[in-house]
Amino acid sequence: MNADVLKVEGLKAYYQMNYFGVRREVRAVDDVSLTIRRNEIYGIAGESSSGKSSLIKTIAGAITPPLRVVDGSVKFDFDGRTLDVYAEPQAMKGARWQNLSYIMQGSMNVLNPVRKVKHAFHDFAFKHMGLSERDFWAKVEQHLQRIGLDPRVLESYPHQLSGGMRQRLTIALATVCEPDFIIADEPTTALDVLVQQDVLALIKDVQRRMGASIIFVTHDMTVHAAIADRIGIVYAGRLVEEGPTLDVFRRPQHPYTAHLIGSLPRIGDSRKRSALPGKPPNLADPPSGCRFHPRCPLAIDKCKTDNPALLPRQTGRVACWRAGEVEAA
Amino acid sequence: MSALLELDRVNKDYRIGGFLDSSILHAVKNVSFTLSAEKPEIFTIVGESGSGKTTTARMILGNETPTSGTLRFMGQDIAGIRSRADRLKFMAKAQPIFQNPFEAFNPLTTLDYYLYSTARRFLGIKDRGGVEAATDKALNHVGLSLAEVRGRYSHELSGGQLQRIAVARALIPGPRLIVADEPVSMVDASLRMSIVNLFRELRDTLGVSIIYITHDLSTAYYISDRVIIMHRGDVVEAGDAQSVLGNPQHEYSRALSGAVLPPDPEEARQIIERRMAGAV
Amino acid sequence: MFKILRDLLRYNIEFTIGFVLTLAIFLFALAHFWAPLPAEAIYLLPPDMPPSAQYWLGTTSRGQDVLWQMSAAIWNTMLFGLTVTILSRLLAVAVGMLSGYLGGKWDQILMTINDTMIALPNIPILLLVYFVMRDSMSWPVLAATAALLGWNYDARLIRSVTLSLRNREFTRHAVFAGMSVPQILMRQHLPYVMPVIFFTAMNNLIWAIGLEVTLSVLGFSDINRPTIGGMIYWANQHQAIIAGIWWWIAFPIIAIVLLFLGLFLLAISVNEYIDPRSRLSRMGA
């Protein structure tokens, strides 16, 4: 069995639009290569419109025009069965939910407000599990108990449950088929601060017990610190750094990562933290060379013209001409 | 010592539900605090959604009237402001910053329209040159210039820049108080600090008091002088920011501060491992 | 303006078809100013002539040239329809936006009036006006009456758009930027209301023309003034269908259908163009 569950190679996905003669191309995912191993949580960090949502949409094969895959491939490996998302979309359909599932940001988007929770389980999971009705419900109840939910929630409507419980339910829903791969898109962002840790602990616990892989997307670096095994930092549609969480936090190699981590405020420390100058790049008209160079404190002439490749360095990979000289701020 | 803003046992109730099954929601209960006119400060209201912090902000800005209690701004009862002239006079001294900078500007209107309108209406400047000078001066306070903003639309700028323009706009009439409701929750991390640092500067160089409303304890700790923690309409803890956030006493404040994830993988991981062992 | 027109013609096939159709019909209608005979004159030509080289679309039983009658009729019908549409749009926008933005007491008063008007039946009211006015009934009076009856549903629609805009942060921001109510409504909200205005204008125009035709067919209008409805009225009076004078009815109906089609295509393509989302995408958002 292959150690990698997902292999993305040279992936390019652009938004291509044409409004009354104004043609626009937004390079939301620009030449991204990454692999995700079995039984790991891979965090994707990036700011709004950095292309991180487009990246996971593309990985999930859930893109709709104007977003199009221009180049590259996304291959899953489920139990030794290789699935090329963009070469064989039909096979992908069968793998949905059974091998590949999602935990989304707003739990209300998943749960129909006017139907009981049990219908959601039936709709999403029943036909994938190949069980009789009785065995199916037995399995669901067992699964809910494992997740710390009373099986009686099946008989309630979403609005009768608290936000934390609803998010637990969406996690239960995403994991009931014991998928190999889960895409978690900002699952804690809309939650109250008080339940955030519980939900993270639950995701980690379920992941560990099932041995699944999770690609976990959030802009919140503290969430990555708490849960991700490895992190990939996305800037302007490109992966600029990747590595084990601890190493990335302790010894960031890319100046952007160094800034993200250095500027995190902390209770008990009110020393002044600097802000990054400039503004996030416009993906329709990105800067030449390294896309970070207009905001980079270490930029040299080479950065303005040549795009650094993502190269292995120490325990991870980094795309920076001056990677060796970056110190955590 | 005269007061800039004084809240005296302010309550706000809402009637919710239909004709038959209506009930009363106490959104804000008996909130009292005073901001001094002599010493500008950053006063933070911390709370989760439903804590009443936004309702409190809206009452301070005169967008809601309290069910009981009074809010006085520079000696004047805010709920008693009726005429448009009085309202404008009040707005010149108390200005808001909104949560989502992309929502705060109409995407189909150029940004300078908001700035010019503010200068015309509150400063009474008629000629274009004067309006532009006043606008440019305010933009300089936030590290921008009119040349960068003129004729631009909101989608051409980043969230952080927009939020700074919003602050610049609020500064034009020369306010004494700025009420900022979750001003950084929608701003990217790399730009967040520039807004937060800006508030410090406004306090120190322009003497503007700021009411900073947030659910984020880390930035609250970073910039606040004083802080109150609200929970379901009640103020559960109040005082100096360092001691309230660094060493919370009330049960709820302790839970809230315990819920903050530290920006360090090892510490954060331990917290999650403990939760996994305990909760599930 | 010219650039917009060029872009629309180049990139939007619906617009091009609609534009060509409408322009052709407009030019045709405009031609009636150079008609060889006055449009009201009767029995100057041999009646009941089928389409021929001399009379392209034939002549009516009243001795009029169908071609020139139609030219004048389309002009008058369009004039009536547009007057109704513009007047009723102004009313709908004013009432809808004020009601939605001001809310409270104003909203209640305006919407009570609005809903009462919705409940009134149109045709009987117009007949009542006709009987009261009798001889002083002219097309502007009729247009004004129709406009007063034709804005209510759309005012409600515009109100709901304004209502949602009022709760957006940029509206509160505009208030704190010292903008007055007219400034907020015109500068901040109108661009979002424009697509609704255009969309409903089309419906309203069709309704107004239909109303004019209905009233004319029933004979409740100035029947000597050539309109599409008026032509059908006279054709009916002379039992044109039974007499086999099909060209008297067929050509006006074809003309009005083509006009509707052209206007419809124009409206949907312009609507797409002025839609805030499409506008923002073109600006590069």
* pLDDT for residue C127 is more than 90: no
What was the pLDDT predicted at B180? 95
Q: DSSP class of residue A96?
A: B
Which residue of chain A has the CA closest to C5? Answer: A20
What was the pLDDT predicted at C272? 81
B81/C contact by beta carbon, under 8 A = no
How far off is chain C from A20, nearest CA to CA, in Å? Answer: 5
B220/C contact by beta carbon, under 8 A = no
A284 chain-C contacts, CB cut-off 8 A: 284
* pLDDT for residue B151 is more than 70: yes
- Amino acid making up residue B80: G
B117/C contact by beta carbon, under 8 A = yes
Distance in Å from the first CA to the final CA of chain B = 54
Which residue of chain C has the CA closest to B122? Answer: C178
For the ranges A47-56, B16-25, B84-93, the maximum mean pLDDT occurs at: B84-93
* pLDDT for residue A282 is more than 70: yes
Give me the percent of chain B exceeding a pLDDT of 90: 60
* Tokens coding C170: 């940029």
* Domain spans, chain C: 2-283
Q: Give B164 or C9, the one with higher predicted confidence.
A: B164
H/E run at residue A77 = strand A67-78
Q: Please, what is the average pLDDT of chain C?
A: 88
Give me the percent of chain C exceeding a pLDDT of 90: 36
Q: Could B190 and A226 be called an inter-chain contact, meaning their C-beta atoms sit closer than 8 Å?
A: no
What was the pLDDT predicted at A107? 61
Q: Could C170 and B166 be called an inter-chain contact, meaning their C-beta atoms sit closer than 8 Å?
A: no
* Domain spans, chain A: 253-329
What was the pLDDT predicted at C36? 87
How far off is chain A from B280, nearest CA to CA, in Å? Answer: 6
What was the pLDDT predicted at A219? 87
What was the pLDDT predicted at C214? 83
- Amino acid making up residue B116: Y
Q: Quote the CA–CA distance of C94 and C88 in Å, as a whole number.
A: 10
* pLDDT for residue C248 is more than 80: yes
C282 chain-A contacts, CB cut-off 8 A: 19-20, 22
- The pLDDT confidence band at residue C19, using thresholds 50, 70 and 90, is very high
Q: Could B259 and A197 be called an inter-chain contact, meaning their C-beta atoms sit closer than 8 Å?
A: yes
What was the pLDDT predicted at C91? 95
* Tokens coding B91: 């707005």
A281 chain-B contacts, CB cut-off 8 A: none
How far off is chain A from B180, nearest CA to CA, in Å? Answer: 19
* pLDDT for residue B280 is more than 60: no
What was the pLDDT predicted at A115? 87
Q: Please, what is the average pLDDT of chain A?
A: 86
Cβ atoms of residues C77 and C266 within 8 Å: no
- The pLDDT confidence band at residue B123, using thresholds 50, 70 and 90, is very high
* pLDDT for residue B155 is more than 70: yes
Q: Could B106 and C179 be called an inter-chain contact, meaning their C-beta atoms sit closer than 8 Å?
A: no
Tell me the pLDDT tens digit for each residue of C49-70.
889 888 888 888 888 999 999 9
Q: Could C177 and B109 be called an inter-chain contact, meaning their C-beta atoms sit closer than 8 Å?
A: no
- The pLDDT confidence band at residue A106, using thresholds 50, 70 and 90, is low
Q: Give C30 or A325, the one with higher predicted confidence.
A: C30
* pLDDT for residue C170 is more than 80: yes
Give me the percent of chain B exceeding a pLDDT of 70: 98
Q: Could A225 and B218 be called an inter-chain contact, meaning their C-beta atoms sit closer than 8 Å?
A: no
Count, in order, helices (H) and strands (E) of chain A. 11, 12
Nearest CB to B107 within list C179, C183, C285: C285
Count, in order, helices (H) and strands (E) of chain B. 12, 10
pLDDT (mean) for C259-274: 85
Which residue of chain A has the CA closest to C278? Answer: A19
Q: Could C12 and A22 be called an inter-chain contact, meaning their C-beta atoms sit closer than 8 Å?
A: no
* pLDDT for residue A293 is more than 80: yes
Q: Could C282 and A284 be called an inter-chain contact, meaning their C-beta atoms sit closer than 8 Å?
A: no
What was the pLDDT predicted at C128? 85
In order of their start, the domains of chain B are 3-279 (3.40.50.300)
Q: Quote the CA–CA distance of C201 and C91 in Å, as a whole number.
A: 12
* Cα Dmax for chain B: 68
Q: Could B117 and C176 be called an inter-chain contact, meaning their C-beta atoms sit closer than 8 Å?
A: no
B184/A contact by beta carbon, under 8 A = no
Interface test with A, best of B188, B217, B242, B266 (most A CBs within 10 A): B188
How far off is chain C from A21, nearest CA to CA, in Å? Answer: 6
Tell me the pLDDT tens digit for each residue of B157-205.
888 889 999 999 999 999 999 999 999 888 877 778 888 999 999 999 9
CB contacts < 8 Å between A and B, how many?
137
Q: Which H, E and C letters describe chain A, residue by residue?
A: CCCEEEEEEEEEEEEEEEECCEEEEEEEEEEEEEEEECCCEEEEECCCCCCHHHHHHHHHCCCCCCEEEEEEEEEEEECCEEEECCCCHHHHHHHECCCEEEECCCHHHHCCCCCCHHHHHHHHHHHHHCCCHHHHHHHHHHHHHHCCCCHHHHHCCHHHCCHHHHHHHHHHHHHCCCCCEEEEECCCCCCCHHHHHHHHHHHHHHHHHHCCEEEEECCCHHHHHHHCCEEEEEECCEEEEEEEHHHHHHCCCCHHHHHHHHCCCECCECCCCCCCCCCCCCCCCCCCCCCCHHHCCCCCHHHHHCCCCCEEECCEEECCCCHHHCCCC
Which residue of chain C has the CA closest to B166? Answer: C173
C173 chain-B contacts, CB cut-off 8 A: 96, 98, 104-105, 114, 166
C187 chain-B contacts, CB cut-off 8 A: 109, 113
A148 chain-B contacts, CB cut-off 8 A: 279-280
Q: Please, what is the average pLDDT of chain B?
A: 90
* pLDDT for residue A249 is more than 80: yes
What was the pLDDT predicted at A100? 87
* pLDDT for residue A328 is more than 70: no
What was the pLDDT predicted at C106? 92
- The pLDDT confidence band at residue B78, using thresholds 50, 70 and 90, is very high
B251/C contact by beta carbon, under 8 A = no
Tell me the pLDDT tens digit for each residue of A138-165.
999 988 988 888 888 888 888 888 878 8
Listed residue (C276, C266, C264, C281) closest to A21, CA to CA: C281
Count, in order, helices (H) and strands (E) of chain C. 14, 0
What was the pLDDT predicted at A329? 44
Q: Quote the CA–CA distance of C101 and B110 in Å, as a whole number.
A: 22
* pLDDT for residue B46 is more than 90: yes
C103 chain-B contacts, CB cut-off 8 A: none
- The pLDDT confidence band at residue A327, using thresholds 50, 70 and 90, is low
Which residue of chain C has the CA closest to A22? Answer: C282
> Tokens 């129709």 sit at which residue?
C146
C280 chain-B contacts, CB cut-off 8 A: 107-108, 155
**Interface predicted TM-score (ipTM):** 0.89
How far off is chain A from B243, nearest CA to CA, in Å? Answer: 10
Which residue of chain C has the CA closest to A25? Answer: C284
What was the pLDDT predicted at A12? 92
What was the pLDDT predicted at B89? 93
Listed residue (A23, C278, A236) closest to B107, CA to CA: C278
What was the pLDDT predicted at B235? 94
Nearest CB to A21 within list C11, C278, C281: C11
- The pLDDT confidence band at residue B106, using thresholds 50, 70 and 90, is very high
* pLDDT for residue A322 is more than 90: no
Q: Could B122 and C191 be called an inter-chain contact, meaning their C-beta atoms sit closer than 8 Å?
A: no
C264/A contact by beta carbon, under 8 A = no
Q: Provide the phi-psi class of B174: left if phi over 0, else alpha when psi is between -120 and 50, else beta.
A: left
How far off is chain B from C98, nearest CA to CA, in Å? Answer: 18
Give all chains having 3 or more CB-to-CB distances under 8 Å with chain C: A, B
Q: Could C281 and A19 be called an inter-chain contact, meaning their C-beta atoms sit closer than 8 Å?
A: yes
* pLDDT for residue B18 is more than 80: no
Interface test with C, best of B95, B106, B179 (most C CBs within 10 A): B106
Domain C2-283 sits in CATH at 1.10.3720.10
